[in-house]
Amino acid sequence: MLDMKFIRENPELVKNACAVKGFDDHTDEILALDARVRELKTITQSKTAEKNKITREIPTATDKAPLIAKSKQINAEIADDMAQLAKCEEQLTDLLLRTPQIPSPTAPIGRDDTENVEVRRIGTPREFDFTPRPQWELLEMNGWWKPEKIAGICGTRTYALFGEAAELELAIQTYVLQKLMSRGFTFVNCPSITKPQTIFNAGHFMGSDLSVMNNDVFMLTDTDRCLAGTAEIILNSLHSDEVLNEKDLPIKYAGFSPCFRKEAGAAGRDTRGIVRIHQFNKVEQYIYCTPEQSDQMHEHLLNNLCDVMEDLELPYRVIENCTGDMGFNKVKMNDVEAWFPSENAYRELGSCSSIGQFQARRTNTRFRASDGSLQFCATLNNTGIALPRAIVPVIENHQNPDGSVNIPKCLQPLMGGRTKIGGKH
């Protein structure tokens, strides 16, 4: 969430952020409620001081009755004022939680993903001398999945990989984790079960009503828990209510967890294959740092994922997301998209996001600066790798006419030295 002092001093910036991100503008309501909250606090403080003065006078007063009556009257007024104050603070908090993060002045202005900007393109899509097979045909002919069987057991948008494809999934995950650990990230094997408030604290949903998550989040019936859609949720709260030392920043985590999403807004999309499913595995990069370190850390996270794309020998491009596509809590965002031969298009494999101090205010995560002041941390996140989605460009780009798949060199040691899988059926 944004700092109230910042909103008071920069209302036009806040209004502009709402406009370019496509969210309702509550700035004027927020300022009016803030003024009323401060007025009521002043009034209650003044009346409390008056009541305390009368209370001190009562024991020595000749005629106590008028003072006692006045004290009771002021007490009733204070109770009314406090009730108004609580209501105004509740309304103010809800509107603050509906106000988006201010985008970077360098972010492209746009309505949706059609107005994103390509930053760079690495590698050239392969020209096949045969008709390349889509992911589902490669999986089918090699006996790497059983979609109908699994759907019958578990329902739609679920998957299971068998044999060499399952090995490949584990190899990619292991490779990425080892790479991140070599770059100073601490591996965290995160739980997937969490509290709704933890998801809310990551700033992906607006307002104070937690039920807004119900369309996207799997709630666990008759419990106070739900399933997280990314390890970011857990990592974001690891230092809640803590004061970190500036010298210890940045703190870098590589979180792994199974992830769960309803995909309610994706009905009819990617119904074939393993791109968009309810449960998947993901390695998530997450950083706590000072606001001054944020831009450098953004490039660090982005380069890590780009290096993984190159290690997997995939053509890819980097997108700078426009204001209308970057989401509620982001300052800036870059998508990394790999080439999918079956679609003749680039598809997103990860999103690198700078959040500023937006999440840290929700979790009260601060650091003691070298000048002794307390400041909120900046946070950033980026996909390390999302599986099984990342398997799709790997098997499609590296396939052979017989349906076998060449293993990228970086993965071969994790695949028992094999250079190729599949093509036996």
C-alpha triplet 287, 275, 213: angle, nearest 5° = 60
Sheet holding 366-368, edge to edge: 243-245, 366-368, 374-376
Could you say which of 98, 133, 261, 317 is catalytic?
261
Could you say which of 351, 353, 354, 404 is catalytic?
351
Rounded to 10 degrees, the C-alpha dihedral 391/392/396/399 comes to 30
Indicate if 348 belongs to the active site: yes
Interacting residues of 155 by C-beta distance below 8 A, sequence separation 6+: 278
**CA 40 to CA 45: how far, in whole Å?**
8
Interacting residues of 242 by C-beta distance below 8 A, sequence separation 6+: 365, 366
Could you say which of 8, 157, 225, 276 is catalytic?
276
Indicate if 294 belongs to the active site: no
Sheet holding 117-122, edge to edge: 117-122, 316-320, 332-340, 345-356, 378-387, 279-289, 251-260, 186-189
**CA 128 to CA 131: how far, in whole Å?**
7
Q: Using only C-alpha atoms, what is the Rg of the chain?
A: 27
Strands 243-245 and 366-368: parallel
Could you say which of 50, 89, 263, 348 is catalytic?
348
Indicate if 111 belongs to the active site: no
Could you say which of 98, 133, 366, 389 is catalytic?
389
Indicate if 351 belongs to the active site: yes
Indicate if 261 belongs to the active site: yes
Closest residue by Cα to residue 103 from 202, 205, 23, 32 = 23
Residues with active-site annotation? 261, 276, 348, 351, 389
